[in-house]
Amino acid sequence: MTREGPRTRINLIDSKIQNPREGGDSTAGFNPENEGSFSKLSAKAKEMASKAYKGFGKIKIPGVGGKLGIAYNQFWLDKHQEKAVGLKNKMDGFDLKVGTLDQSRKEIQAVVEDLKRQRIPGAESLELKLKVLDYKRIELLNKRDQTQSEFESVDNKKKLYTNKRDQIANGFIERYDQKIKPMEEELERLKTSRDEAELLMTVAEVKHQDILTRLGDVEKRKKRVEEALWGTGMSEKEIGNFEAIRMMQDMITEGREKIRREKEELNRKKADIDNKIAKADARANPYRDKREQFVRVKENRPLQVEVNPRQRNPEFRGTEEVRTNPRAEAGEGPSVLGESERGTEGTRGGSLFEEPQGEPDSVEGNEEIRLTVYAHLANWNNHVEARYGSGDMISIRDFLRVTRLSEGSLVNLEGFGKILEKYYKLKKIQMDKFREVMTNLGN
């Protein structure tokens, strides 16, 4: 058999088994090891399969999904259920007749007792009628029992079949879970890598911002010196001839350009990493979906046909227990990465550490709070310890390891806040908890 796409194979089954005489027996659609079994089916069996596939033909699910659609099609259950319902109707008919007989017997019995009490002859002939009624009743009950046995056989078959298909589904759900679990764990690690990339980007961004501020400061001071030189009576040309001035201007321009290029490069790398992670997550989705398909097909439960218990055996309880079928818990499906997108941001609408917007190159404002990372961390931990206890303090060693910052790196409060937020996100700790500390630190 040629390798064809799942959809094509299903269409082939659909068209061929609807016309079993055209082109001989259709075996397309079944796995090669099952083709032999299909070709040995009787004409009637093939006709039945045709009906089932015809119903399925409108559902566009390929591969295993398609076969699930066929195997779990209501068609099979309906066939058993139609028969079960027919037998149940027959039993109801017997019950009705027995009930009528019982009522008649009761009335005749009352007349017999009345006749006997009044010593009026004729009671015996009525008692004979009662016997006839009793025979008829027994006959009806026997027929009802036979029908009930037949019904139970069909009903049990339906339940057994349901159990069997559920058993297959459960087996595959279990197998999928075994493989999907490590896949989800790996995706979770990738999600952490994405958070780490964000943290690294923030660290670089804070460092770049700090450097740009300092370059701006140097440039301002250079301009002040140039103005002072001009004040001494030097011409602009003479001032421009100072090698230090020319070199400095070149370096400032070059420095800004290097930062711009590096930002672009880092953004490109970050986007590349995000893209790889998103692709990995997207690739996992069809497997998650297939597992869910197996879970969902079990939701189609057989019709429960309630029957009256046998009269001679009122204690009867059906021994057939339909096994319970675990369902995927609500919220199990969505992508891990999708979830992460929603909610671990510590703050809304920007950093809580944002300083008042002033002159971007203002040095005075920045120098006041530009501290070493170590000093910021020590300050943070002091506040956290005072408010929440030592358990919530940050491990300085871990912070420095993850951010790749040195304890002597100088950053301003706003920059430290941004890095801290990304650090908490990476560590999956809700930063909102520390809102009070953040407010105190910002004041």
Partner 1 sequence: MTTNQNTTKGESVKDLSGELDGLLDETKKINQEIDETNKDARGSMDDLDARVNESIASMEPIYSDLDKIEEEAGNELDKLILEQVKDLAVE
Residues 266 to 285: which contact partner 1 by CB under 8 A? 266, 269-270, 272-273, 276-277, 280, 283-284
* Among 265, 289, 320, 359, interactor with partner 1 by CB under 8 A: 265
Task: Kindly state the smallest distance separating residue 304's Cβ from partner 1, in Å.
Answer: 21
Query: Any contact of residue 211 with partner 1 (CB under 8 A)?
Result: yes
Quick one: 280 or 322, whose CB is closer to partner 1? Answer: 280
Residue whose token pair is 């369902």: 327
* Among 244, 324, 364, 391, interactor with partner 1 by CB under 8 A: 244
Subset of residues 137 to 196 that bind partner 1, contact rule: CB under 8 A: 157, 161, 164-165, 168, 171-172, 175-176, 179-180, 182-183, 186, 189-190, 193, 196
Quick one: 139 or 250, whose CB is closer to partner 1? Answer: 250
Quick one: 65 or 346, whose CB is closer to partner 1? Answer: 65
Task: Kindly state the smallest distance separating residue 380's Cβ from partner 1, in Å.
Answer: 23
Task: Kindly state the smallest distance separating residue 268's Cβ from partner 1, in Å.
Answer: 10
Query: What is the C-alpha to C-alpha distance for residues 39 and 21, in angstroms, rounded to an integer?
Result: 12
Task: Kindly state the smallest distance separating residue 407's Cβ from partner 1, in Å.
Answer: 15
Task: Kindly state the smallest distance separating residue 381's Cβ from partner 1, in Å.
Answer: 24
Binding flags for partner 1, 345-384, as an x/- string (CB under 8 A): ----------------------------------------
Is residue 395 left, alpha or beta, with left meaning phi > 0 and alpha meaning psi from -120 to 50? beta
Paired tokens of 111? 């007349």
Quick one: 277 or 378, whose CB is closer to partner 1? Answer: 277
Quick one: 144 or 291, whose CB is closer to partner 1? Answer: 291
Query: Any contact of residue 221 with partner 1 (CB under 8 A)?
Result: yes
Query: What is the C-alpha to C-alpha distance for residues 252 and 259, in angstroms, rounded to an integer?
Result: 11
- Give a three-class secondary structure readout of the chain: CCCCCHHHHHHHHHHHHHCCCCCCCCCCCCCHHHHHHHHCCCHHHHHHHHHHHHHHCCCCCCHHHHHHHHHCCHHHHHHHHHHHHHHHHHHHHHHHHHHHHHHHHHHHHHHHHHHHHCCCCCHHHHHHHHHHHHHHHHHHHHHHHHHHHHHHHHHHHHHHHHHHHHHHHHHHHHHHHHHHHHHHHHHHHHHHHHHHHHHHHHHHHHHHHHHHHHHHHHHHHHHHHHHHHHHCCCCHHHHHCCHHHHHHHHHHHHHHHHHHHHHHHHHHHHHHHHHHHHHHHHHHHHHHHHHHHHHHHCCCCCCCCCCCCCCCCCCCCCCCCCCCCCCCCCCCCCCHHHHHHHHCCCCCCCCCCCCCCCCCCCHHHHHHHCEEHHHHHHHHHHHHHHHHCHHHCCCHHHHHHHHCCCCCCEECHHHHHHHHHHHHHHCCCCHHHHHHHHHHHHC
Subset of residues 395 to 424 that bind partner 1, contact rule: CB under 8 A: 404
Query: What is the C-alpha to C-alpha distance for residues 252 and 361, in angstroms, rounded to an integer?
Result: 14
* Among 144, 159, 290, 422, interactor with partner 1 by CB under 8 A: 290
Quick one: 80 or 425, whose CB is closer to partner 1? Answer: 80
* Among 130, 248, 363, 393, interactor with partner 1 by CB under 8 A: 248
Quick one: 47 or 107, whose CB is closer to partner 1? Answer: 47
Subset of residues 23 to 82 that bind partner 1, contact rule: CB under 8 A: 30-31, 33-34, 37-38, 41-42, 44-46, 48-49, 52, 63-64, 67-68, 70-71, 76, 79-80
Task: Kindly state the smallest distance separating residue 169's Cβ from partner 1, in Å.
Answer: 9
Subset of residues 104 to 143 that bind partner 1, contact rule: CB under 8 A: none
Task: Kindly state the smallest distance separating residue 212's Cβ from partner 1, in Å.
Answer: 9
Q: Which stretch binds partner 1 (CB under 8 A): 223-231, 317-325, 364-372, 434-442?
A: 223-231
The site that binds partner 1 (CB under 8 A) totals a number of residues, namely 87
